[in-house]
Amino acid sequence: MSRLEDAYRRATEAEVDHAVRNLNLPKVICVEHEPTLEECQQAVGGLIEAVYLDDGRLMYVNENGLIVGLPVNEMASQIAGRHIVGDVVIIRDWK
């Protein structure tokens, strides 16, 4: 059983929220319009790489995420249909 599952079984909602934050899981940040280059780089923690999603959205990921050993981002990986690591930014209206 994972630490999160164990915490959820025996904790209040506030304690679960605290546990999730302390796990330091990669984030998926969704925005309406494309942020500046600097904002994207700050959000993903480095140089950015564009991942075009099947549903027409755009995802920015850390270009060197695999090289520097960023943790797998399970939610972003499911959205993209491929292996994604680190924090990501998804832009809904990028055209």
3-state secondary structure of 48: strand
Each residue of 10-39: pLDDT tens digit?
Answer: 656 555 555 556 667 898 988 988 899 999
Q: pLDDT tens across 32-66, in order?
A: 888 999 999 999 999 999 999 999 899 999 999 99
Length of the chain: 95
Helix (H, G, I), strand (E, B) or coil at 16: helix
Three-class SS of residue 53?
Answer: coil
